[in-house]
Structure 1
Amino acid sequence: MPSFTFARGNATTLLSLPLYAFGRLASVFVRRRDALWVFACGSGIGEGALALYRHARAADPALRLVWLARDRDELVRAGELGLTAVLRSGWRGFRMTLRARVIVVTHGLGDANRFGTHGAFIVQLWHGIPLKRIQLDSPATFRGALPARMLRALYRKNTARLGLVPAASEVSAVRLRSAFGLPAERVVVTGDPRDDVVLEPSGPTRALLADGIGDYGSARIILFAPTWRDGDADPVVPTAAEWEAIAAFLEANDSVLVLRPHPHGVGDYRTGAAVSSRIRMLSADVQNDINPVLSAVDVLVTDYSSIAFDFALLGRPTAFLAPDAENYAATRGLYEPYREFSGGNEVATWAGLLALLVDPVALDRLAGHAVHLAATHHEYRDGRNTERVYAELLTRLGGQA
């Protein structure tokens, strides 16, 4: 059973309409504090929200910054990281959200306490450069019991409240403006704060990756990170025979395959780890934000995930395993033809993938395409995206950048 689908999320939102009304009424009587900013991330502590929290804390100690934790485990981890935090779903989380001048999210208003967001300046640090259609651009967004027209109106009402949406490039900005239904001036090309960490030195990230998967010495690291299919099963879970072939390949080529299923994905990859010690699981429970370990990865394997754009900053090979490319593009929708995204390098089977990964010429071609993706989709590659977002935010608030 998938942990989240659009239909389930839409149903929850509709059932919560009375609480939205209460929060809007409360916002009339509660004054927002200019120096109070709250931060949250739908996937846990990390992404651009954490980067901006840390930068703002260093830039202006007078700000009161609060992380809104999803649960008590995240609350504990926030404390270990030195973040001031409260539970987003509790009374304190509601009050903090209701009083905050700035609310920073990465997925949606539900990252924060959604009932206290009315009237705040909302920064949407979207969790990746869009390839698949999102929000208002995707028919999948409006799955549920109510007519799509009604759901679309609710989404548009919420997205209209966004004050700032940073983008990695003008290509990404065009997609985000369309997806959120926003005017050009609210979607600004600053670079994506979540990508600054990708460009940090690889030494510390190799140690961080080892914390998640165990010691791997000097072996080549191949990261497999498929995308989410809105409750549909992942079509590339290896068969027993494929696991054996993968294990033999890894042994012969001194490599480790790190499996990173999407947190909401449907498919069991745990069998692989039982086949070979060179097959390791790195679940979202262990490393919720994957970007901090990307510079430790030698080769990425994905399908439609925006992780390909993040990893492209490193100029290393990205292979595309996508047996359902035609169906996925038809049902979910893509902002560009899939073959432009993959460079025409996609394969449909694990056998085809392993053949690519053992071919030096093919690997060079895959690395060259990654360089092309980075040049096309990243305006800045200097590790200062968070700094630019912070300066833009201060300008929007009327402060001095």
Structure 2
Amino acid sequence: MRERLRSIRVLRSLRFLPYSLPYRAWSLIRPIRPHRILFLSDSHLGFTGNFGFLRAEIHRQQPDAEVVGIFKDGLGRRRSLRDLLRLPYLLATSAVVVLDDFYPLVYPLRLRRRTRLVQVWHAAGAFKRVGHSRAGLPGGPTPGSDIHRNYTHATVSSEGIRDDYAEAYGIPRERIRALGVPRSDFFFDEPLVTAARDRVRARLGVPASVRLAVYAPTFRGNGQLTAYADESADWGRVADALGGDWRVAVRRHPFTTRGARPLPAGVIDASADVEMNDLLAAADVLITDYSSAVFEFALLRRPVVFFTPDLDRYAATRSFYRPFEDYAIGPVVRSSEQLAPAISSAQVDSARFDRFLSDFCGALDGRSSERIVREVLLAAPRRSHPRRTDSASARLLRRAGLDLTTARVARVSLTVMSSLMQVLPSRRKVTMLTREHNRPPVDFVLLRDALRRRDPSMQVTIISRMVPGGVLPKVGYAFHILVELYHVATSRVLVVDGYSFVASAARHDDELTIVQMWHALGALKKFGLSILGRPEGRDPRLARAMRMHRNYDIVITSAERCRPAYAEAFGTDAAKVVVAPLPRVDRLRDPIARERARSRFAKLYPELGATPVVLYAPTFRTRRGSGHPVDPVELTRALGGAGYAVITKLHPLVAPPRHAELRTAPGMSTQDLMLVADHFVTDYSSAVFEAAVAGIPSYLLAPDLDDYVQSRDFYLTYPEDLGLPLTQSVAGLVDLLRAGAATPEQVVRLAEAFVETADDDRTGAADRLAELLIEAAGSRGRSRSRRRP
């Protein structure tokens, strides 16, 4: 009866309704957080096994990634109330969800289009059948079962077993990638293996002169809830027969540890508190049956003995992906009495091991974690348009003439709410708001640190939240604005790095100082109020309704020659524009940051060696369908033929292109790569000023220059005022690079003209801005030319 009920899809859906309904609700009102990675397991607690290796590698490649885990140590265990409440939310808002075993809760869900569900199965190789490969066998899936079928990616240990896992998961072969098994990286690190061997043997009381035999079987039964152990061997007698030169340890399968019989005296119980990798490192001989432990242990090229008293029955009820003989790289024994002789005489057959490892472990080389993180977990998702293109609902509102009405209603609502919050007392607090990122930008982080160094009593709050697309997500964003209003009302200083509805359209206390710290150095292409009504600018009527760029008391720019441009862009008096370079300048000149960035890059691309690196970073086009006039694949091929390695970094609002020939350095920002690259190529991006600060010879590649002047225009004479070599074709760029047309002297002149630094080298850009904000926070009752909404 239970099996028949399980086969009814409606009943299966009802079973998981407490999770699927909140998941759908959160999906409607909250955006996906692009740097949130969620790890889930109902088989173990914590970041162990594959999860531990992946988490460490994620933090190495992208230190600011948000890694979250929800675990319980068995399907039958109850989930805590806290996890019950937060699990649907985290599933709905995570960019990547990682599993390492069967996880029934996710299979009924219709995942969001931008969510990646990644299965990094806890085992290497393909031994006993799992998932849909067990259809028709005892404990196999019911007809029409949806288990495993919604994986967007799955990783395996060898090219030759992709078809096996495609069958097991019921997904196309293209979703299976032979990138390796993260926990296998351990076995390629000889110092780590040696240290683990010594540590575990000391813990188990096994002297170095004594050989250790470890029995690590799989479970019997249909799955985790019905698992039991084969206990036909008398391990006490086996230990006695081996003599004093040997010790025997038993590692029970995690599914069978509860209620297991005590082991005989003299036999070590290694079922708990020892990582499986570490135990295998300590073993001289592995005894197993049908466990995938044989694949990892084979990497150590040590003897294996197979104890299979129930081989015929197991093959009939569970079955294997290959004939059992293909897995038997050591002696096979069927009775307990045969174990001791087989263990003491077991040898390694090199030819058999070589074939076995080639068939089942071909992708294991010590770099599995790095590949999986770089190519799956941190790889940017596919996107055909920039993130900020209008949703269909927003375009419908505009066609109906409702966008201006909506803006005016929103402004009135904001005025009312901000007026109510003026009763809150302000304190010595600096709030920084950005809608350019979903995580704190580097300028805000460096400025926060400088403020805390100079004035530990100063409270600093950073709020990073991009405006989501669509109507319903914007409703959720409206509630987030209340949080921003609260922090602004209780602050003395507000810092923004772009247009902020709260900064410009809300009502503020006279004691609040609002600082516009625009997110770019220099003044190259026109922006803000300078391009209202132009093809790449805003509708002037909407800008007026949203009070675009009003209320600034201080505007930050990086050089004296940029002050008129910033005054025009923000519609303010030039006297309010203060010359103070962005905090990122400190990092671009920091030799320690440079060394760290180069170390991370070398680990990402060790094959590049001394190959000169070209960083290509074009600007962002806001017009729909404008695209990029340079094909990055064509550029990569052309420069590759000339002996250069190209790293392509598009604007953060545009997804990186996906092509086998492209390198995008996932986990590293454009500023990180400024500290690595030998040459910089752009069209109209203000990143050219950052490259100058970093001292990188730079080139301008601008095939659409005439069109761009019409749609956007510049604050300077382009390219003459930059003093950099310009070409309008990829072939021309190759010629310029070969000729060494860009020189260090050019970038020095460019940096001096557009990024003014303090005469005192000991005072960094972040410290100069911190002093300015501390002074602003300490002053009282300044008069305002600001108009109240």
Do these two structures clear the TM 0.5 threshold for a shared fold by scoring above it?
A: yes
1:364 has 2:348 as partner: yes
Please say if residues 313 and 371 of structure 1, whose CA atoms lie closer than 8 Å, have aligned partners that are also in contact. no
Q: More relative contact order in 1 or in 2 (CA 8 Å, sep 6+)?
A: 1
SS of 2:256's equivalent in the other structure is coil
Q: Confirm or deny: 8 A CA contact 2:238 2:339 kept in the other structure.
A: no
Deviation larger for 312-321 or 169-178: 169-178
Task: Look up the equivalent residue of 2:24 and give its one-letter code.
Answer: L
Q: Is structure 2 residue 197 aligned with structure 1 residue 178? A: no
Q: Which stretch has the larger CA shift, 187-196 or 376-385?
A: 376-385
1:18 maps onto 2:17 in alignment: yes
Q: What displacement does 1:373 show?
A: 1.8
Q: Measured at CA, do residues 248 and 125 of structure 1 come closer, stay the same or move farther in structure 2, by a change above 3 Å?
A: same
CA-to-aligned-CA distance 1:71-91 (integer Å, 9 cap, x gap): 7xxxxxxxxxxxxxx998342
Q: Report the counterpart of residue 311 of structure 2 in structure 1.
A: 325
Partner of 1:352: 338
CA deviation after TM superposition for structure 1 residue 67, in Å: 2.1
Residue by residue over 1:51-99, the C-alpha shift from the partner in whole angstroms, topping out at 9 and shown as x without a partner, is 111101111112111122327xxxxxxxxxxxxxx99834234422321
Letter in 1 for 2:59: R
Letter in 2 for 1:118: L
Offset, 1:160:
2.9
Please state if 1:311 is matched with 2:306. Answer: no
- Tell me if 1:262 matches 2:264: no
Shift of 1:142: 7.4
Gaps of 5+ in 1: 1-5, 72-85
Q: State the shift of 1:46 in Å.
A: 1.4
Q: Deviations over 1:199-238 (max 9, x none)?
A: 2232221244247634544321211011111236433433
Deviation for aligned residue 1:307: 0.7
Cα shift readout 1:305-343 (whole Å, capped 9, x = no counterpart): 111111111111111000111111111111011122114
Query: Is the aligned partner of 1:107 residue 2:95?
Result: no
**Offset of residue 124 of structure 1:** 0.4
Q: What pairs up with 1:168-317 in 2 under 5 angstroms?
A: 168-201=157-190, 202-210=193-201, 213-230=204-221, 231=226, 233-238=228-233, 242-252=234-244, 254-265=245-256, 268-272=260-264, 274=265, 276=266, 279-283=267-271, 285-287=272-274, 289-317=275-303
Which residue identity lines up with residue 63 of structure 1 in the other structure? A
Counterpart in the other structure of 2:442: none
CA gap of 1:207–1:244, structure 2 versus 1, over 3 A, is closer
CA contact (8 A) 1:197 1:291 kept: yes
Q: Percent of counterpart pairs with the same letter?
A: 25
Structure-2 change in CA distance of 1:310 and 1:124 (3 Å) = same
AA aligned opposite 1:271: L
Q: Which amino acid aligns with 1:138?
A: R
Q: Distance in 1 between matches of 2:48 and 2:230?
A: 29
Contact 1:165 1:188 in 2 (8 A): yes
TM-superposed deviation, 1:262: 0.8
Q: How many residues matched? A: 359
Give TM-score scaled by structure 1 length.
0.79
Cα distance change, pair 244–300 in 1 and its aligned pair in 2 (3 A): closer
RMSD of aligned C-alpha atoms? 3.1
Richer in helix (by share): 1
Residues 93 and 153 of structure 1: CA distance in aligned 2, closer, same or farther (over 3 Å): closer
The whole-number CA distance in structure 1 between the counterparts of 2:81 and 2:180 is: 30
- Over 3 Å counting, the alpha-carbon distance change for 1:305 and 1:167 in structure 2 is same
Query: Quick one: which amino acid aligns to residue 137 of structure 1?
Result: S
- Mapped contact 1:198–1:292 kept (Cα < 8 A): no
2:146 corresponds in structure 1 to 154
Q: Within 5 Å, which residues of 2 pair with 1:36-75?
A: 36-41=36-41, 42-44=43-45, 45-70=47-72
2:361 aligned with 1:378: yes
Contact 2:44/2:71 (8 A) holds in 1: no
Aligned: 1:165 with 2:154: yes
User: Structure 1 208/100 Cα, relative in aligned 2: closer, same or farther at 3 Å?
Assistant: farther
Q: Which residue of 2 aligns with 1:79?
A: none
| Cα distance in structure 1, aligned partners of 2:289 and 2:283 | 17
> Residue 111 of structure 2 is aligned with which of 114, 118, 137?
118
Structure 2 gap segments, 5+ residues each = 74-79, 383-655, 657-663, 667-789
> Once the 2 structures are TM-superposed, how far is the Cα of residue 248 of structure 1 from its aligned partner?
1.6
SS of the aligned residue for 2:286 comes to strand
> Is the contact between residue 51 and residue 193 of structure 1 (CA under 8 Å) also seen in structure 2?
yes
Q: Compared with structure 1, are the counterparts of its residues 55 and 364 closer, same or farther at alpha carbon in structure 2 (3 Å cutoff)? A: closer
Q: Which residue of 2 aligns with 1:3?
A: none
Cα separation, partners in 2 of 1:371 and 1:356, compared to 1, 3 Å: farther
Aligned to 1:392: 375
* Alignment partners' CA distance in 2, 1:13 and 1:213: 46
**Which residue is equivalent to 1:31?**
31
Partner Cα distance (2:110, 2:202) in 1: 37
Q: Secondary structure at the match of 2:44?
A: coil
Shift of 1:259: 0.4
Q: Name the SS for the 1:270 alignment partner.
A: coil
Distance 1:97 1:294 in 2: 35
Between 1:323-332 and 1:37-46, the stretch displaced more is 37-46
- Cα distance change on mapping 1:93 and 1:142 into 2, 3 Å: farther
Q: Distance in 2 between matches of 1:140 and 1:306?
A: 23
Greater Rg by CA: 2
Deviations 1:236-289 (Å, cap 9, x if unpaired)? 433xxx34422323434x1121101111137845232x2x2xx20111x423x4
Q: The residue matched to 1:320 in structure 2 has which SS?
A: strand
The residue type equivalent to 2:217 in the other structure is P
| Residue identity opposite 2:371 in structure 1 | R
1:369 CA drift (Å)? 3.6
Task: Give me the whole-angstrom Cα distance separating, in 2, the residues matched to 1:88 and 1:101.
Answer: 21
How far off is 1:141 after superposition? 7.8
CA contact (8 A) 2:36 2:66 kept: yes
Structure-2 change in CA distance of 1:65 and 1:234 (3 Å): closer
Structure 1 counterpart of 2:647? none
Question: In 1, distance between residues paired with 2:231 and 2:158?
Answer: 31
